[in-house]
Structures are given as C-alpha cells and as structure tokens.
Amino acid sequence: MPQAPVVIGVDSSTQSTKALLADAETGRALAVGRAPHRVDGSAGARESDPELWWRALGEAVAAGLKEAGVAASAVTGIAVAGQQHGLVVLDRAGRPLRPALLWNDTRSAPQAAALTEELGGPAVWTARTGSVPVAAVTAAKWRWLYENEPAHASAAAGVRLPHDFLTERLAGTAATDPGDASGTGWYATATGSYDPALLELIGLDGRLLPEVAATGATRVGSLTASAAEALGLPAGIAVAAGTGDNMAAAVGLGLGGAGLLDHPVLSLGTSGTVFAATRTRPASPALSGFAATDGTFLPLACTLNCTLAVDRVAALLGLGRDDAEPGGEAVLLPYLDGERTPDLPTAAGLLTGLRHATTGPQLLGAAYEGAVFTALRALDDLLHVCGLDAAGAAARPLRLIGGGARGRTWVETVRRLSGRPLIVPRATELVALGAAALAAAAVSGADPVATAAAWGTGEGTALDPVARDTAAWEHIASVLDRAAPVLR
C-alpha cells in the first residue's frame, strides 16, 4: 500500500529544534523528533551558534523519521518556523561570522532607545513599522554589532533571521516572509517591504538581506542535494518560505484571513506572548505590530519572563511547580532577565509584601501571578487595537498555548486573574504544526490557514470562566505602577 504524503514542520526555538512529521492530508501528527540547542552568555548576553541549529535540525528530522516509521521518500515538503528577532551575520560562503544574537539578548537596549529618538520617537516608529524598537528587535542588535564589533559588521555578506538561515540551508535561496520580517525594525508593514530610510538609519546595506516572499507558504525553492544528504530526505521536495514562531503558532491555531480573526491567544513559554490575527493594521506603541504570514496582521505583546522565570523561583524555594498557593499580600514580579513588556530591560525581580506568615507556596504563587498579570495586562492593549469593546472582549475565549498551558497552576492562575473563558487546544506543538501547514500549502498551493483549520489543530478543551480575582489584580497593578520608575 503506498505511503500517504508527509510534510515536515520545524520549530527551531530558543532551547531546541522540533521536527514534526504530519500526514499532509489530515494534519495528523505522526512523530516529533527533538534535539537541544545551547544558549551562552551572561549579564544580558544571549547567543547561540547557528551551525548548532542546523545540526539539531538534522538530528530532529532523523529522530522523527525513525519514530514515525515512514519512508523518507514519502516526505513532500518542509517549512521552518524560528525564534524571532535573532541576528545572524554570514560570510560569503554562508557561514556565521559569530554566534547569533538572540531575541532575549538585552545588551542592545541602549541602541534601541537611541534609534527610537533618532527617527523622531515612538509614534513615528509605530506609523512606519508598526512597532517601537526594544532590545529584542533585530535593528537594535545590528546597531549594537555595528558599534561594538565593527569588524564583524563590515565583513557581513548576509544578514538573516534564525528561520531565514535554516531555510537558506534547505533551499539554497535567501528568502524570508512578511511575518518574521516585520519583527526586524527595518520592514515597513504599511508598504510590505524593507524601508530604505530605516536601513540607512541603522547602517545596514539592504543588499545583505533576503527577498521577502508573498507568504510563509510560498515555495521559495526545492531541497538541495547537499541538504537532502544532510537530512536524509529526497532532493527536490518543496521548501516553503517559513516564518517566525508566533506567526506559525497563529497558523496552527487557524488564525488568519481564511480562519479566525480577532481571537486572542496567550502563549506560556520561556517568554509569554499575547496575539491575535486581525485585518486592522496595528498602531500602538505598547505592542509589536507584526504582520501575519498570510497577509493579515498579528499584533503581539511579549514578556521576557514566563515559565522559565517561575521555574527558577520554584527551584530557589525547593518546591514543585504545582506547590503554589495564591500570593496574598506578597507580590513577586519575576523580571529575572529584565523585561520587554513593560519596557524595563535592566529590571531585576522584585518581591514586596513579605510577612512573618508568608509561606513558600505563597511566594511561588506570587511569581505565577506576577508573570500572568504582566501578560494579561498587555492583552488589554491588544484587544483595544483589534477594536473589541469590553463586553465583546470578555465574551470571546482566550486560547492558551505553550508549555505552561499543560500546567495546572498556570491554567488556574490565568482563569483567576482574567475571569475569561479559556480554550486549551489539544495539539501540543502548534508552532511545528503551523509550519507543517505552510509546507503542505507550499506543495498544494492552498491557503495555509484554511489548511490548518481543516486539520482541526486549534480545537481543544473549553473551560468556563471563574470569578475574576480583582483584589489580586489591583494589588499587583499598584505595585508595578509604583515600582516601574525604580526598575528602569
């Protein structure tokens, strides 16, 4: 019996690569191969060697093929979704000149502030690109490299995002997509193209950048012979442009022009993100006004400190993840890596309200509350940008994804502080599934959001709302508002 066609969706994240093999017709996940990454750096530095991403991709694909028990000849397409914003600089042979500067590298905070002022302030940036530069944005990282490592900047023959780097290794084509490009700080969401004036401002030659494909599902090439040999896949299969991880997660949830619009999502991972697909071009300095990968927009707010920060607090207290209780008087803002939303790149964690009666489980609960509050407060701005009134926003369910969505305490903390109905999708690898939908669409020519919606990847468990803990919300809000000037 002939093997049904298979596509591979790759999630190249901060900490690992996942290669999901899916039935191209039904979206059924056949296997997920995994391989770890290494992140180096301290005192704000966060770097990874892109060659290790490529090696991890090969290991993850091999593991996925073995687990699925399918012939490599059944694979018809592949797409990569990658961590956003990272800066990869290449030599003329396509090799990295130095380790990539990752999204959570905060050394570029001064450069972000300087760029904001040089163009005329946050409102000008928002009108031009949809976003105001923060330390995470690639433009600030390029300016940091330009000022601190001029030899590397002048030697660069190519500048890529993490997913661009891997896509180029697959297809031999320098390509990106509107979604990931919109997170660079040199892409104008108003025109859907690189902005020459912004490139001049940051000192970057536009000829070093990849071409922007129409969508993340655009077929930008075929798997080269050398890449096929490295991955154990057939040469010539379709390679999609791919996209950023948040854009892929939106596709995996069926969010976009051919699916759900103005439906909010909260992702609980190393970072916490809130986003929604909308036809309204976002224009709020409080948000990242990204493009989606299908031609709509994806306003998004990102916090640096989410599951990893709370896990660190649990480890310091010697507690398990679910040993938490509501924080009571204690407020713990777990800004262990600085913070992006609100924009506090040099902040450290803050604990206040400690009493003799305060328990360890309460401190852990306060860390959960601090992380969830920070994300949900950003959600309020996002819903406003989407044009939803308060009543409509409260009635529309919040989709909860990421590793934290599988944790009881995370889910219950979100329910208690939001007071909203929740949907927890059954699929656990939405970024990789979204990438798989891009790969399938690159093969078939179909719309990737419609493909994912037909697969049903966004369906899951519905949770009714509970009474909102307004006392805890207002207490945390008061602490953050008073502490923000000190934390800057």
- Residue 345 is classified by DSSP as T
- Two tokens, residue 169: 């290794």
- For tokens 């949770």, what's the residue? 463
Q: What number of CA atoms fall less than 13 Å from residue 118's CA on the CB side? A: 17
| Residue 198 CB contacts under 8 Å (≥ 6 apart), including other chains | 119, 128, 129, 139, 185, 186, 188
Largest CA distance in the chain: 70
| Residue 36 CB contacts under 8 Å (≥ 6 apart), including other chains | 15, 16, 56
- Residue 221 is classified by DSSP as E
- CB-CB contact of 366 with 330 (8 Å): yes
Q: What number of CA atoms fall less than 13 Å from residue 103's CA on the CB side? A: 25
- CB-CB contact of 222 with 239 (8 Å): yes
For the chain, how many helices (H) and strands (E)? 17, 24
Cβ neighbours around 445 below 10 Å, total? 9
195 is an active site residue? no
Minimal CA–CA distance to 333: which of 205, 233, 479? 479
- CB-CB contact of 186 with 266 (8 Å): no
Which of 105, 245, 294, 381 is catalytic? The answer is 245
Report the alpha-carbon distance of residue 263 to residue 255 in Å, rounded.
8
- CB-CB contact of 105 with 46 (8 Å): yes
Bridge partners for 275 per DSSP: 265, 300
What residues are annotated to the active site?
A: 245
